[in-house]
């Protein structure tokens, strides 16, 4: 693939902009020995498998599809057009936000949403099939939440969450896949479906109230301990297998 096309496919701008970056000496390509070589020929051909390049001093891997994990901080919205708080997309570099797609929306998209005051693990991708697979209740992908509640927990509340509670807009009971008290006011809750404000509404249904909410795991992958709030990283093939194989 031509270097200009590689940069375009990764979201570095229009083809003209990408050609300009290359011709102006802002792009380096890594060779087989891992040495970055200057490249000013926009039409230079490269094999994209395991290809790495550098744009304006920042290293990038070639990725046919982008798969990311973000540690969502509080007071951020999972929306391209936030109403009150900053968008989580502002935490990502521009190329990830502008990766070209056939659909009208460009760039990576959040796999589901977390409320503005909810923190923790959020996946982002430009792979529509992956988004559907992770979001569909038919696939029962488990998501683990660490919940801090206002009132002391008791066995009755745990039992009701496991047996199922009725939410105001759905007569079908919603059940936790797993639920355990890890402290007097702390709960670890596992869900396999996602409804609007689901954790908060489930706790309200058992006469309690969520004071803090953090997602710590999706599928078989836990939020990396060294990923600080607001930071993101690429997901490896092993990560993706762990998420889908849980």
What is the CATH classification number for the domain harbouring 168? 3.30.70.1560
Say whether 31 is catalytic.
Answer: no
Determine which one of 31, 115, 127, 226 is catalytic.
Answer: 115
- Which domain CATH number covers 93? 3.30.70.580
Q: Are both 38 and 52 inside the same structural domain?
A: yes
Please report whether residue 52 resides in a domain: yes
Q: Using an 8 Å Cβ cutoff, are 8 and 46 in contact?
A: no
Q: Are both 57 and 113 inside the same structural domain?
A: no
Q: Are both 89 and 118 inside the same structural domain?
A: yes
- Which domain CATH number covers 10? 3.10.290
pLDDT given for residue 168 in this prediction = 81
Please report whether residue 170 resides in a domain: yes
Whether this model's pTM surpasses 0.85: yes
Range of the domain at 183: 142-218
pLDDT given for residue 246 in this prediction = 52
Calculate what percentage of the chain has a pLDDT beyond 70.
98
Q: Are both 188 and 149 inside the same structural domain?
A: yes
Please report whether residue 245 resides in a domain: no
Strands (E), the chain: 27-30, 36-38, 52-55, 58-61, 67-72, 109-110, 119-125, 143-149, 165-167, 170-174, 178-183, 186-191, 210-218, 221-222, 232-234
pLDDT given for residue 103 in this prediction = 66
Q: Are both 154 and 213 inside the same structural domain?
A: yes
Alpha carbons 105 and 115: distance in angstroms, whole number: 21
Alpha carbons 61 and 73: distance in angstroms, whole number: 26
Give the residues of the chain that fall short of pLDDT 70. 103-104, 245-246
Please report whether residue 242 resides in a domain: no
pLDDT tens, residue by residue, 5-48: 999 999 999 999 999 999 999 999 999 899 999 999 999 999 99
Q: Are both 56 and 74 inside the same structural domain?
A: no
**How many distinct structural domains can be found in the chain?**
3
Q: Which of the listed residues 42, 61, 80 is the one where a domain comes to its end?
A: 61
Q: Which of the listed residues 14, 44, 61 is the one where a domain comes to its end?
A: 61
pLDDT given for residue 173 in this prediction = 92
Please report whether residue 241 resides in a domain: no
Please report whether residue 243 resides in a domain: no
Please report whether residue 210 resides in a domain: yes
Q: Which of the listed residues 12, 45, 61 is the one where a domain comes to its end?
A: 61
Please report whether residue 199 resides in a domain: yes
Tell me the torsion sign for CA atoms 210, 146, 133, 104. Answer: positive
Q: Are both 127 and 152 inside the same structural domain?
A: no
């Amino acid at each position: 693939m031509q270097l200009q096309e590689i940069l375009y496919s990764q979201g570095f701008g229009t083809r003209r902009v990408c050609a300009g970056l290359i011709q102006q000496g802002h792009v380096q390509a890594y060779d087989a020995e891992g040495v970055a070589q200057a490249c000013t020929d926009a039409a230079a051909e490269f094999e994209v498998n395991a290809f790495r390049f550098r744009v304006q001093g920042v290293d990038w891997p070639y990725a046919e599809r982008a798969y990311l994990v973000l540690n969502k901080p509080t007071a951020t919205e999972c929306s391209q057009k936030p109403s009150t708080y900053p968008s989580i997309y502002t935490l990502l570099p521009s190329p990830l936000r502008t990766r070209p797609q056939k659909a009208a929306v460009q760039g990576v998209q959040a796999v589901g949403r977390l409320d503005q005051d909810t923190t923790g693990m959020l996946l982002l991708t430009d792979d529509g099939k992956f988004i559907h697979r992770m979001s569909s209740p038919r696939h029962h992908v488990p998501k683990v939440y660490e919940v801090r509640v206002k009132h002391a927990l008791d066995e009755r509340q745990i039992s009701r969450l496991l047996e199922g509670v009725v939410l105001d807009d759905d007569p079908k009971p919603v059940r936790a896949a797993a639920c355990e008290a890890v402290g007097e006011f702390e709960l670890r809750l596992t869900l396999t479906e996602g409804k609007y404000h689901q954790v908060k509404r489930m706790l309200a249904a058992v006469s309690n109230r969520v004071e803090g909410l953090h997602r710590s795991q999706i599928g078989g992958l836990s939020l990396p301990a060294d990923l600080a709030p607001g930071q993101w990283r690429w997901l490896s093939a092993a990560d993706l297998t762990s998420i889908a194989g849980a």
